[in-house]
Chain A
C-alpha cells in the first residue's frame, strides 16, 4: 500500500511487534501460530531482490542504518554497523548461531540474579531454533575458505583449542558477501523462515514504518504513533493494540522507551563487543574471496573474552580495514590480494555506553573507554599475532592507527609499548544489554517474563534484554530468549 493511502489511518491489532530481526520475527511467528492477530512493523525496507550482490556500497546503503555509519561517540569513536531492513541483523550477519556459553548463563544467575534461563531451560529453544534455521557445523574445505583452514592449522601448531562453527546456512556459495545479505546463498535470515511463518499464519508486515512514540496511560500502552516512508513522502499513522512487543534492537528499543517517557533507566547502560580487524598476508595464496565469514573460531581464550575468526574478503573491506595504515600499505596489500585475509578478534570487554535520546528523532550513543580493557586488548593483539604467524602469515597489519606492517612478534611488542586507546581501530556489530532482564525493578528494566516493570502489556524480545554482553554472536541467544518470553506469555 502506498504511504499516502495510509496517511492519517488508524490501524488496530491484538499484538503489535516492532522490529523484524532475530527477536521480533520469532515473536511474530509464535504469536501468529498461536492464532493471535499480529502486525509487524519494520523501519527498513525489504532487502532488494535480484540486486547485483557485488554492489556492496549500494547494498550497504539499503540494508544499514545511515548507510552503515553509526558512531558510538567517545575516545576512540567506535563505528557500529547496524541493520535497518526487514530481517534486521540476521540479514547482514555471518549467520553464526551459537548457544549461550554456559559460563555466561551461570554469571547471569549468580551475578544478575536471573533464574529460569539456565542451560537446561534454554536447551529446548536452541534445539527448535537450530532445527528451524537448518543450523549445521561448517566443515573445513581444501578448495575454499583457506583462511579458515590455515587458522585452524595454526591453532593446532600452538596446541590451542579451535572449532568449526555452527551456521544457519543451507548452502553457501563461498562468495564472501554475508554482510550485504548474500543473495546467492541459503543464509537463513528471518526473511527465509520466521517472517514467512508469521505471514502464512495471518500476520501482517508493514515495512518502511518507523514507530516514533508509544502512547500510554496508567501503566498500559495504548497505541503507537508511526510514520511510513514512501519514495517521495512520509505518512503519519496510528496503530492501536492490546499488547506491544518491542524488538527494535538494543539502541532503538531504549530510545523509543525514553522518548515515550516510559522508562528513564532504559539505555542508561549499554554493552557491546569490540571487534579488532587484522589483515594478514600469507606466503602462499589464500584466495580468501572464495570463502565466507567466521567458519572457524579460536576458542582457547573464550573464557577470558577473546575469540579469533576469519572475516570476509572483498576489495571494499580489505581497503577499509587497512586504510589507516596509509596509501603505501593499501597498495602493498592489494598487490598481494590473493595472499591476503582479514581476521576479526572479538572481545568481551568492560567498556560500556549509554543511549542519549534528548536530541531529536535519532539516538546518540556515548561510550566511555574503560582503561581496564587495555590489558584485554593487549592480550588479544598478542594472541592474534601469535596464531596468525603460526598459521603461515608473513606480514600483519594490526588495528593500530598508522602502525604499519609487522613481520614478527618482536615488532608487535615495539608497537604495543606506547599504545594508547585513541590509536585503536575498533568497530562493533553487536550491541546488547541496554534494557536488561532481572529479578528487581531497581537494577533491571524488564521482568524475567520479558515485560517492562512498569507496563502491563509491553514486552521486549531483542538483544536489549540480555543481562550483559555474551562474548559470542548473540543471534541464537536472542532467538532463544524470544521463544522463552513469548512461550511464557502464551502459557499464562
Chain B
C-alpha cells in the first residue's frame, strides 16, 4: 500500500476496491501500464462520486464506510491492502448484501467510462514526458 493509498478514507478505499475488482481480469484494454493507471481511475470515480448531490453522496459514503468496516472484519485487512484475489472474493461476498448491486453498478459504470479515456491519456502523457526527458 502506497503512502497515497494509506491516506484514503475507508469509504474511498472500499470504492477503490470495488473499482479494481471490476478491472481485475479484464483483457480488453492495454494493461502494460495498469498499475500506474489505477490511481487515476480510482481518482476519476471518487471525483465523480464527490460531484453527486448530497442526497446521493452522503448515504453512499456512509454505506461504503460500513462496507469497508465489514471488509476489515471479514478479511482482517483494509480494503486498499487486499490482493486481487482477496478483493474479488470480498466483492463476491458483498454482492449478497442489499443495495450493493446498485453501488457496484455505479462504480463499474464510472470505471468503464474512464477506462478508455484516462488510461490512454495518461499513457500518452507518460510517452510525451519520456520524449522530453530523452531530448534533454
Which A residues fall within an 8 A CB radius of B?
54-58, 60-61, 66-69, 71, 77, 79, 314-316, 319-320, 323-324, 327-328, 330-331, 334-335, 337, 359-362, 364, 401
Contacts and interface: CB of A to CB of B under 8 A. Distances in A.
Interface in B99-124: 101-102, 105-106, 108-110, 112-118, 121
Given A57-B44, A323-B108, A359-B55, A316 B24 contact: no
Interface in B39-84: 44, 48, 51-56
Contact of B48 (A67, A77, A316, A328): A67
A68 B22 CA distance: 19
Nearest to A60: B113
B113 A316 contact: yes
A195 to B, nearest CB: 26
Contacts of B24: 327
Given A71-B102, A315-B116, A316-B116, A79 B109 contact: yes
B112 A67 contact: no
A320 B55 contact: no
A58 B109 contact: no
A55 B117 CA distance: 5
- Best-surrounded residue of B52, B108, B116 (most CB of chain A within 10 A): B116
10 contacts: A57-B44, A60-B113, A66-B52, A66-B56, A67-B51, A69-B52, A77-B105, A320-B108, A323-B112, A331-B26
A69 B48 contact: yes
A164 B113 CA distance: 30
B28 A315 contact: yes
B27 interface: yes
Given A316-B115, A364-B55, 12 more contacts: A54-B117, A61-B48, A67-B51, A71-B102, A71-B106, A77-B105, A314-B116, A315-B29, A319-B116, A335-B28, A360-B54, A401-B101
At the interface, is chain B mostly helix, strand, loop or mixed? helix
Contacts of B48: 61, 66-67, 69
Nearest to A323: B108
Contacts of B44: 57
A316 B41 CA distance: 14
Contact of A331 (B22, B28, B115): B28
Contacts of B108: 320, 323
Contacts of B102: 71, 77
B104 to A, nearest CB: 9
A66 B55 contact: no
Contacts of A56: 113, 116-117
A324 B112 CA distance: 12
Contacts of B118: 57
B28 A57 contact: no
A78 to B, nearest CB: 10
A359 to B, nearest CB: 5
Given A57-B44, A315-B28, A66 B112 contact: no
A67 B51 CA distance: 8
B25 A327 contact: yes
A360 B117 contact: no
Question: Which of A57, A327, A328, A401: most chain B Cβ within 10 A?
Answer: A57
A11 to B, nearest CB: 27
Given A69-B48, A71-B56, A360-B53, A57 B113 contact: yes
Nearest to A319: B112
Nearest to A356: B55
Contact of A66 (B27, B29, B53): B53
A365 to B, nearest CB: 11
Given A61-B48, A359-B55, A331 B25 contact: yes
Contact of B28 (A58, A324, A334, A360): A334
Contact of B27 (A77, A79, A334, A361): A334
